[in-house]
Amino acid sequence: MGTTGPDPMQEEGKVIPKSKSYALLALSVFLFFIPVLWADEFYLNVIISIYLNIILAVSLNMVIKTGKLSIAHAAFMGIGGYTSALTVMRLGLPYLLALPLSGLMGACIALLVGRLLLKLQGVYFVLVTFAFGEVVRLFFVNLVEPFGGPTGIINIPPPRIALFPGTAFTLLSKVSYYYLVLGVMLMALFIIRRIYQSSIGKAMDCTRETEHLAEFTGIDTFQHKMFAFAGGGFFAGLAGSLFAHYYRFISPESFTFWESVNLIVINVVGGMGGIAGPILGSIFLVPLPEFLRGFVEYQRVLYGLILILTLWFMPTGMLGLLNKALDRMKSRKPGKEGTP
Amino acid sequence: MGETLLPQVIINGVTLGTNYILMALGFTLIFGVLRIVNFAHGEFYMLGAFFVLTAILKFEVNYLLAAILAVLFIGLLGYLTEEVIFRRFRDKELEGMIIALGLSILLQNLGLVAWGPYDLSIPPVFTGVLKIGTLFYPMERLMVVFISFLLMAGFYLFLKKTRLGLAIQAIAQDTEIARVQGMRINRLYPLAFAVGTGLAAAAGAVIGPLFQLNPWMGIMPQVKAFIVVILGGIGSIPGAFLGGLILGVAESFVSTYASKALADLLGFVLVIGILLFRPSGLFGRSQVSR
Amino acid sequence: MIKRRGWKKFGVCLLVVVFCGMGQAWAQEVLKLGVIAPLSGTGAGWGLALRAGAELASDDTNAKGGLEVDGKKFKISVIPYDDKYQGQAAADAANRLIFMDKVKFIIGPMGSAAGLAAQEITEANKVLFVGNSFTTKFLGAKKLYSFRTTMTMAEFSLPMLKYLKEKYPDAKRMAILGPNDETGYEVTGFNLKAHQAVGHEIVFRDYFERGTVDFMPILNKIFALKPDVLNLDGSNPGDCGLIVKQARQMGYKGMIIKVGGPGTPEMLKVAGKDFMEGFIYYSPINPDDPKIQEINKKYNAKFPPPMNGFTPQFYDGTLWLFEAIKKAGTLTDTEKVRATLESLSFNGVYTGAMSWTGKADYGIDHQVKFPFYVMVVKDGKEVVLGKATP
C-alpha cells in the first residue's frame, strides 16, 4: 500500500492486552441475553445479518493482514453454502458435521488455488481473485447438477442439532438461530484474535509491511499468506453454511463480485487495523439499507460516497477515528494509566 | 450451412472485438500510465452514451455533434476526477483501486436516480443491412467498426506524433525521469486520465445506439476491457488492439460452436491463465509478480 | 479499551434503533398492503408493473371511501420494498414487512428466487402472498398462503401453441432462446413440452447470460439450423427487443414469437415497427379495450411510461384479494381470508373471468386461469389475432 499518509493497517498497535479479556468476556455474555431483551423478529434478523457479515469481514481482514486484497471472499462463502446444503440434503449428514465440513471445503479450495494465486502481487492479485470469483460463480450458474444452476437450491432444511444421541432439536426459530450464529461468530473472533496476538499475527504484519525484510529474518511469507488465505476461506465457508440454512435458499446471486466488494467496503470503512475495525464496519453498514428503505436509489449512492469519503478523510476507518479520539482523551489526563 | 456460418462468425467476432478494443484502449492507458485500476471505466462509457441520448432527445442535437461533445465533456469530467479524487492516491495502487470502486458504485446509482431503471434507446443512426452473397451485415455495425478504426488510428497518431502523446508515453515508462526532465506531472496525469475517459465515452457514444442504455450498461464492457488488457499486456496499445480482436473472435467461435456459457467462462479462465503464467500478456511489461 | 468503547457505542446505537422502531403508529383505520418486487436493476420493468397494479387498485378503492370490512371502512396503505430480483433481498423485505410493518397481505414478487426465499417467511407466519413468482415450486399443497394471480407458461403455452399450430400448420421447426436465470429455466421446460405436444420439431434450445447485448453469435448458430419460428420464451422485454432487431438485421425472415411474459411496447421502442412486424405474443389483456386506455392514463399520471401488460393483471389480482378480505370480514384472521380467497372466483376489470386451478400441476388450486389473447404486431400496433382458453 502507500508510503505517504496514514497507513490504514497501522492501527493495530492498540491490540487489547490480556487483562482486558475479561471485559470482552462480559460483553459476550451480554450478547447472549439480547434475544431475551429484544425478542423482536425483525431486529433479530438484522442482528443475525450483522453477525454473519462480521464473520465474513473479519476473516477477510485476516487475508488483508498479509497484504493481499481478495475480491473472491464471497466465492468461498458460496462454496461453503453449497457444500453445506448438498451434504445435508443429498448425503444426509447431520448439521454438526456439515458446518465444519463447509469450512474445511472453503479452506481446501483456498489452499489449492492460493498456491498459484498468492504468487501475484498488489493489484494483480486483486484482479486474479476477481477472475477466480467469477469463474466460481459461473460454475454455480451453469451446473444444474448438483448446484441447481441459476435457480439454486431451495428448501434447505433448518439445522438439526443432535449434541447427544437421542436429543435432537431443530433450529426453527430466529432466536435459536441467533444463538447458533452468535456461537460461531464468537468462536471465530476468539480464534482470529488469538492469531493476531500471537507471533503468527506479528509475522503476518511483517509480511504485509516489509516483505523482503521479513524473508530476511527467516519468516516464510508465502506460508503465512497461504495460512491467512486458507483461514479466510475456512471462516467464509462457515458463514456460507450458516447463511444457507438460515435463508433456506441459495443461488449464485448471493455470492457475486458485489458481495465481495461489500466486505471490502466494510473493512475499509470500519478500519483494517484490527478485529474491531470490520466489526464496527459491519455494525454501521449492514443495517444501513434497513434505515434507508424509503430511499432505495439513494442508498447505493450513499454507499459509494461513504467509501470514497472514508478513503479520503479517514483512511484508517472508524477504528482509526476511535483510536484518535481515545488518544486525545488520554493525553488530557496525564498520569493516568494510558497504555491500553 | 457451414459456408455461411464460418464467415459470419468471423465477422461477428471482429465486430465484437472492435467494441472491446475501444474500451480497452482507455483502460490500458489509465492503468499503464497512472497505475489506477479504473473500476469506474464502464461508468464513463455509460455517461458517454447517456450524454448522447440526452443531447439528441432533449436538445435535438444531431448525432455526430452529440458524440463529439460527449467525448469532450466526459474527458473534462475525467480530468477533474483525476485532479480531485485520484490525485492523492497517485502512489497508492490499492487505495486508488478501491476509490475507483467507490466511484463506480456512486456513478451507477447516480445514473439510476437520474435516468431510472428502464432500458432506453438512442434512435438508430444508420439503418439498413449490407448483404454480400449470403452474408448479412447491419450498416450500423459496419459504421461502428469503421468509426472505431478511425478512433484507434487517431489515438495512435496522438500518442506517437503529438507532444502530449509523447509526454504521456514518457511518464508511462518512467515517472521519475519524466519529472526530472521537467514534465508537469500534475497536468499530464489528469490529461492522460481525460484521454482515457474520453475514449470510454467515445465507445459509449458509438456503441450506444446499437444496444440498450441503462445505468449498469458499463459493467460488461468494463469486464471485457479488463480481460483484453490483461490478455494484451497492461499499458500496451498494440496489445489492447490484438487482445480485443482475439477475445472477440474467440468468444464468437465458442458461442456459436459450443455454448454461450462457455464463452463467458473463457474470458476469465484466460485472465487467470495469463496472470499466472505469462503475466505481461502479449506485449506488456513484466511487473506483475516477483 | 477500544473494544469496550466500541461495544458501548453499539449498545447506544441499538437503543436508538429500538426507539425508532417503536415510533411507528398503528392506525386502526388503515389496511397495510405490502409489495415485494424488483424496483431496481434487471426486472425493474416488471417490478414496477406489479407495484403500479397494486397501488392503482388501492387508489381506486380508497377513492370509493376505502375497503369495507366488517362494517368499518379501511384506507389502504401500500408499502413497497425492493427485492432486486434476488432471494436474499426478498427475504429481508418479507422480514421487514411482517415484523416491522406488521403486514398480513403481500403482493408480489416477480422473480422465482425472490418468491421462494420470501415464502419461507410468509408461510411460516401465515401471511398471504399473492403474486407472480414464475416458478412451479412457488405453489404447493403445503403452501397454503401463496397464490399466483398471473398465468405462467404452464397455463398458457399449450393453448397458445395449439392455436398457432392450427393457424400456421407449416411452421414446424422451432428454436427456443431463453435467459440463463431461474425464470428462463422453468419457462423453457413448459414451452418445450407444449411444442412437443402439438407436434413441433425443436431444432434449437439454449440460454443466454443475463447482461448479454450482442446476440449475433448465438443467432448465427440458430439461423444455420433454419428454424421456421424463433420463440423468445421468458426473456425480458429489453433483451427481446434487441434479439428481434438483431435477428432481422441478420436477414431472418421466419416467425418470431414470444410464449412468455408481456413487454411489446418496450420491444417496439427498441426494435422499431418494421422489424417487429408479424411478431406474435401472449397478452393477458386486450390493449384495445377502452378500459385499458383508462388505466393507461391513470398509470401515466403516476409512473413513468410505458405501462407494462402486467399492470392490469396485478390491479385485478389486488382487487381479488380485497374482495376476499371483505367477504371474510376480517383483517387479522388470515386463515379465514385464505379460505375465502380459495373459494372465490372473480371478474377482473381488465382480465375477465378469473378462477382458480392448478391442483393437477401443483397440488393446490392457487393458480389463476382466465381466457387470454394471442396478439400480433401489425404496422407498429398491437392487434388481436385470436383468443384462447387454458
Residue in chain C closest to A25 (alpha carbons) equals C4
- Domain limits at A193? 14-330
Helix/strand/coil percent split, chain A, to 5: 75, 5, 20
Residue C368 to residue C346: CA distance in whole angstroms: 10
Indicate whether A174 belongs to any domain.
yes
Residue B175 to residue B34: CA distance in whole angstroms: 10
Task: Look at residue C130 in the predicted model and tell me its pLDDT.
Answer: 92
- Measure C238 CA to nearest chain A CA, in Å: 20
Per-residue pLDDT averaged across A108-123, rounded?
91
Which 58-117 residues of chain B touch chain A by CB within 8 A? Answer: 85, 88-89, 91-95, 97-99, 101-110, 112-113
Which residues in chain A are closer than 8 Å to B104, comparing Cβ atoms? 304
Contact C217 B16 (CB under 8 A): yes
Residue type at position A242: L
Which residues in chain C are closer than 8 Å to B138, comparing Cβ atoms? 246, 249-250
Cα angle vertex A161, ends A156, A167, to 5°?
135
Q: Among A80, A65, A96, which residue's Cα sits nearest to residue A161?
A: A96
Nearest to C2 among A45, A49, A326 (CB): A326
Residue B268: which CATH number? 1.10.3470
Indicate whether A172 belongs to any domain.
yes
Residue C23 has pLDDT above 60, yes or no: no
The cell numbers describing A89, all together, are 440434503
Residue in chain B closest to A124 (alpha carbons) equals B288
Residues in chain C: 390
Number of domains in chain A: 1
Q: What is the pLDDT of residues C1-20, one digit of tens each?
A: 445 555 555 555 455 554 44
Task: Look at residue C19 in the predicted model and tell me its pLDDT.
Answer: 46
Contact C221 B131 (CB under 8 A): no
Indicate whether A152 belongs to any domain.
yes
3-class secondary structure, C72: strand
Give the pairing type, strands B129-132 and C72-82.
unpaired
* B233 in Cβ contact with B98 (< 8 Å): no
Per-residue DSSP letter, C313? H
Task: Look at residue C8 in the predicted model and tell me its pLDDT.
Answer: 56
Indicate whether B283 belongs to any domain.
no
Which residues in chain A are closer than 8 Å to B260, comparing Cβ atoms? none
Which residues in chain A are closer than 8 Å to C206, comparing Cβ atoms? none
Lowest-confidence pick of B102-106, C109-113, C332-336? C109-113
The winner for highest mean pLDDT among B191-200, C64-73, C307-316 is B191-200
Per-residue pLDDT averaged across A294-323, rounded?
83
Residue C276 to residue C264: CA distance in whole angstroms: 9
Contact C95 A323 (CB under 8 A): no
Q: Does C45 touch chain B (CB under 8 A)?
A: yes
Lowest-confidence pick of A257-261, A310-314, C170-174, C285-289? C285-289
Residue A13 has pLDDT above 50, yes or no: no
- Domain limits at B195? 2-277
Whether a cis peptide bond, with omega within 30° of 0, leads into B209 is no
The cell numbers describing C99, all together, are 415484523
Per-residue pLDDT averaged across B39-55, rounded?
94
Q: Does A120 touch chain B (CB under 8 A)?
A: yes
Residue C269 to residue B259: CA distance in whole angstroms: 29
- Measure C218 CA to nearest chain B CA, in Å: 6
Residue A241: which CATH number? 1.10.3470
Residue A295 to residue C129: CA distance in whole angstroms: 24
Residue C129 has pLDDT above 80, yes or no: yes
Indicate whether B284 belongs to any domain.
no
pLDDT mean across residues, chain A = 85
Q: What is the pLDDT of residues A219-278, one digit of tens each?
A: 788 999 999 999 999 999 999 999 999 988 888 888 999 899 999 999 999 998 889 999
- Measure B99 CA to nearest chain A CA, in Å: 5
Residue A38 has pLDDT above 80, yes or no: no
* C52 in Cβ contact with C299 (< 8 Å): yes
Residue C269 has pLDDT above 50, yes or no: yes
Contact C214 B260 (CB under 8 A): no
Which residues in chain B are closer than 8 Å to A135, comparing Cβ atoms? 265, 268-269, 272
Residue C27 has pLDDT above 50, yes or no: no
Contact C266 B118 (CB under 8 A): yes
Task: Look at residue A186 in the predicted model and tell me its pLDDT.
Answer: 93
> Residue A294, class by beta-carbon neighbours within 10 Å (0-12 exposed, 13-18 middle, 19+ buried)?
exposed
More confident residue, A239 or A304: A239
Residue A21 to residue A18: CA distance in whole angstroms: 5
Of all residues in chain C, what percent carry a pLDDT higher than 90? Answer: 30
Is the Cα torsion angle C33, C34, C40, C42 positive or negative in sign? negative
Number of domains in chain B: 1
The cell numbers describing B72, all together, are 469532450
**Cα-flanking dihedrals φ and ψ of residue B104, to 5°?**
-60, -50
Contact C40 B112 (CB under 8 A): yes
Q: What is the pLDDT of residues B218-272, one digit of tens each?
A: 988 999 999 999 898 887 888 888 999 999 999 888 887 877 778 888 889 988 9
Q: Does B274 touch chain A (CB under 8 A)?
A: no
- Non-local CB neighbours of A232 within 8 Å, separated by 6+ positions: A59, A60, A62, A63, A70, A73, A76, A110
Indicate whether B247 belongs to any domain.
yes
Indicate whether B282 belongs to any domain.
no
- Measure C141 CA to nearest chain A CA, in Å: 15
More confident residue, A16 or B44: B44
Task: Look at residue A295 in the predicted model and tell me its pLDDT.
Answer: 64
Q: What is the pLDDT of residues C134-181, one digit of tens each?
A: 788 888 888 899 999 988 888 888 999 999 999 998 888 999 998 877
Indicate whether A339 belongs to any domain.
no
- Measure A253 CA to nearest chain C CA, in Å: 7
Residue C338 has pLDDT above 90, yes or no: yes
pLDDT interval class at B125 (50, 70, 90): confident
Chains that touch C (3 or more CB pairs under 8 A): A, B
- Between the two ends of chain B, the Cα-to-Cα distance in Å is 50
Per-residue pLDDT averaged across C269-281, rounded?
89
Residue C180 to residue A290: CA distance in whole angstroms: 30
Q: Does B277 touch chain A (CB under 8 A)?
A: no
Indicate whether B94 belongs to any domain.
yes
Contact C87 A151 (CB under 8 A): no
Residue B219 to residue B101: CA distance in whole angstroms: 12
Strand ranges across the sheet with C229-231 = C201-208, C173-179, C229-231, C255-258, C280-283, C372-378, C381-388
3-class secondary structure, C283: strand
pLDDT interval class at C48 (50, 70, 90): confident
Whether a cis peptide bond, with omega within 30° of 0, leads into C306 is yes
Preferred mutation among C249, C250, C307 to probe B, highest tally of B CBs within 10 A: C249
Residue in chain A closest to C80 (alpha carbons) equals A294
Q: Among A107, A135, A125, which residue's Cα sits nearest to residue A257?
A: A135
The cell numbers describing C129, all together, are 402472498
Task: Look at residue C41 in the predicted model and tell me its pLDDT.
Answer: 67
Residue C316 to residue C55: CA distance in whole angstroms: 11
Task: Look at residue A8 in the predicted model and tell me its pLDDT.
Answer: 61
Task: Look at residue A266 in the predicted model and tell me its pLDDT.
Answer: 94
Per-residue pLDDT averaged across C185-203, rounded?
84
pLDDT interval class at C182 (50, 70, 90): low
Task: Look at residue A1 in the predicted model and tell me its pLDDT.
Answer: 40
Contact C250 B136 (CB under 8 A): yes
Q: Among C267, C198, C199, C197, which residue's Cα sits nearest to residue C232?
A: C267
Contact B212 C213 (CB under 8 A): yes
